[in-house]
């Protein structure tokens, strides 16, 4: 190895090196001694303030070596491009959070993660954690990342929307999100084609859905979501007309990303269930999430399995969570025919082989009997008995199934949903179907039971 024979010689070489370095990389400055072109040297970037030790100074003069930080060179710098710095929300999912300082966001290193909802541990690659989150096998809501993204975005903006909607005119095709006269379709990777459907087949279906929506007065917006990446989907939304429609300047993107990482719809459903149990029906709770009752129940079954809620699907089918009869569930009743007492209406129905809620309706004064059997609550009220007496003295035969409905917009009351359907010139189950799916008529009317 060659060394300058005198300090003067070294200084001359150093000045020459400084001039060459300035011409090639004006932001870099020599901060240590320069010996020769093959000896390590220290330089400082005046743009970002980062100091680097360069193994081969010749590469600086050739332009092959530049500032690591300013030029995004893939080299770990704690406090700059380590995982804890670039992805602090994802770091919360790591079992060993200090480990986040030892790798970057696209590393193929495998790390141990902990689900923030149910505590399940999972070993995955850092790159997969960055792109998809944990995808917990125990409490996953089985909703795609793009759809969860849009669900959380609309919820944050407090927009009243519906999810996975089928219309009378949509030929059994479902739309991802509907609010007002707008439809949002989150086009995931399968829209490029898959082993199940070719690109041509998927495009034909999409074109049909677009045509049906537009012909029925809806504005359809498609968001390309081929990659389940937060910044990617965010930019696609900002590049679309949704930026104006949703007024995305009001979106807290940091909070949205954190919500996507640390929360899911199972946890949200369990929180709603625990808060409104005994106050709202399951169907009303589902409305708070803008999902169907069936999907809400599926979330609750998962939540119960991992200990976040105490929901029983069988009890739900038997009306345990129905507020209108929730106070009746588990109330003692007596059969007036034989004087037998039962701990609940359900038990009486099972004993006499009667249809669901028939005994409950008799006890509440909504009907007089079922197959000539009569019942009463042990602690019945004067109001209920007065209703029964009124029915007994009425000249008309009481209906055992019809419930009155009201048109919310006009205030008109109908004796049954079937009567309302016929007056609208539709089939007998038309209004009942609208109420069950929380939809409006083509004229914009909505109905509800009284």
Q: Which CATH class name applies to 145-262?
A: alpha beta
Compute the C-alpha angle 76/81/87, nearest 5°.
Answer: 130
Of the listed ranges 154-168, 285-299, 307-321, 407-421, the one predicted with least confidence: 307-321
Domain chopping of the chain, boundaries:
7-62, 83-132, 145-262, 265-323, 327-382, 405-449
Please, are residues 101 and 76 in contact by the beta-carbon 8 Å criterion?
no
pLDDT > 90 in the chain, percent: 14
Q: Is the model's pLDDT at 399 over the cut of 60?
A: no
Rg of the chain taking only CA atoms, in angstroms: 34
Strands, E, within 110-196: which ranges? 110-114, 121-125, 162-166, 174-179, 182-187
Instruction: Note the helical H segments in 160-264.
Output: 199-215, 230-238, 242-245, 253-262
For residue 261, the SS3 value is helix
Q: What is the mean pLDDT of residues 415-433?
A: 82
Mind listing the pLDDT tens digit for each residue in 146-177?
A: 888 898 899 899 898 888 888 989 888 989 99
Continuous segment of H or E residues that includes residue 42: strand 41-45
Q: Supply the pLDDT for residue 169.
A: 92
For residue 333, the SS3 value is strand
Residue with tokens 């004087």, as numbered in its chain = 339
Mind listing the pLDDT tens digit for each residue in 203-221?
A: 888 999 999 999 999 999 9
Mind listing the pLDDT tens digit for each residue in 333-388?
A: 999 999 999 988 888 988 998 887 788 889 888 888 888 899 999 988 888 898 88
Confidence of residue 409 (pLDDT cuts 50, 70, 90): confident
pLDDT > 70 in the chain, percent: 90
Q: What is the mean pLDDT of residues 121-149?
A: 77
Q: Is the model's pLDDT at 281 over the cut of 60?
A: yes
Report which of 170, 253, 168, 174 is spatially closest to residue 213, judged by C-alpha positions: 170
The span from the CA of 114 to the CA of 123, in Å, is 9
Q: Which residue has the higher pLDDT, 118 or 446?
A: 446
Mind listing the pLDDT tens digit for each residue in 27-85?
A: 778 887 888 877 888 888 877 766 767 777 777 777 656 665 666 555 677 777 788 88
Question: pTM score, two decimals?
Answer: 0.51
Beta bridge partners of 448: 406
From the candidate CATH numbers 1.10.10.10, 3.40.50.11900, 3.30.390.10, 1.10.1740.10, the one assigned to the domain spanning 327-382:
1.10.10.10
Query: Whole-number mean pLDDT of the chain?
Result: 82
For residue 406, the SS3 value is strand
Instruction: Note the helical H segments in 5-139.
Output: 7-24, 57-62, 83-86, 88-91, 126-132
Q: Is the model's pLDDT at 1 over the cut of 50?
A: no
């Amino acid at each position: 190895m060659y060394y300058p024979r005198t300090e003067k010689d070294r200084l001359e070489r150093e000045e020459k090196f400084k001039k060459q370095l300035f011409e090639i990389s004006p932001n870099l400055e020599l901060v240590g001694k320069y010996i020769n072109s093959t000896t390590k040297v220290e330089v400082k970037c005046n743009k970002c303030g980062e100091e680097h030790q360069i193994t081969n100074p010749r590469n600086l003069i050739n332009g092959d070596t530049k500032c690591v930080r300013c030029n995004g060179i893939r080299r770990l710098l704690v406090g700059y491009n380590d995982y804890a710095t670039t992805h602090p929300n994802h770091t919360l999912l790591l079992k060993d959070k200090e480990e986040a300082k030892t790798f970057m966001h696209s590393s193929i290193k495998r790390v141990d993660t902990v689900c923030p909802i149910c505590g399940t541990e999972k070993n995955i690659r850092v790159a997969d954690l960055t792109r998809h989150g944990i995808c917990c096998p125990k409490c996953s809501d089985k909703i795609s990342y793009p759809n969860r993204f849009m669900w959380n975005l609309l919820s944050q903006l407090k927009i009243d929307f519906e999810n996975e909607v089928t219309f009378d005119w949509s030929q059994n095709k479902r739309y991802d999100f509907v609010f007002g006269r707008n439809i949002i379709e989150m086009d995931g990777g399968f829209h490029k084609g898959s082993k199940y459907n070719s690109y041509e087949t998927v495009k034909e279906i999409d074109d049909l859905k677009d045509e049906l929506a537009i012909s029925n007065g809806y504005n359809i917006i498609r968001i390309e979501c081929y990659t389940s990446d937060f910044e990617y989907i965010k930019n696609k939304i900002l590049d679309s007309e949704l930026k104006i429609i949703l007024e995305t300047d009001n979106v807290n993107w940091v909070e949205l990303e954190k919500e996507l990482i640390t929360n899911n719809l199972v946890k949200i459903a369990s929180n709603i269930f625990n808060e409104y149990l005994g106050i709202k029906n399951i169907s009303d709770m589902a409305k708070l999430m803008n999902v169907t009752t069936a999907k809400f129940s599926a979330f609750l079954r998962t939540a119960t399995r991992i200990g976040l809620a105490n929901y029983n699907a069988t009890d739900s089918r038997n009306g345990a969570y129905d507020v209108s009869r929730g106070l009746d569930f588990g109330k003692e009743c007596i059969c007036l025919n034989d004087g037998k007492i039962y701990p609940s209406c359900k038990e009486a129905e099972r004993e006499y082989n009667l249809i669901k809620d028939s005994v409950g309706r008799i006890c509440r004064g909504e009907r007089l009997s079922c197959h000539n059997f009569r019942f009463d609550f042990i602690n019945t009220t004067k109001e209920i008995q007065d209703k029964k007496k009124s029915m007994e003295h009425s000249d008309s035969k009481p209906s055992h199934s019809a419930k009155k409905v009201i048109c919310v917009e006009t205030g008109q009351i109908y004796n049954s949903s079937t009567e309302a359907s016929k007056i609208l010139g539709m089939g007998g189950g038309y209004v009942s179907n609208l109420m069950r799916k929380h939809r409006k008529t083509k004229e914009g009317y909505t109905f509800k039971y009284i």
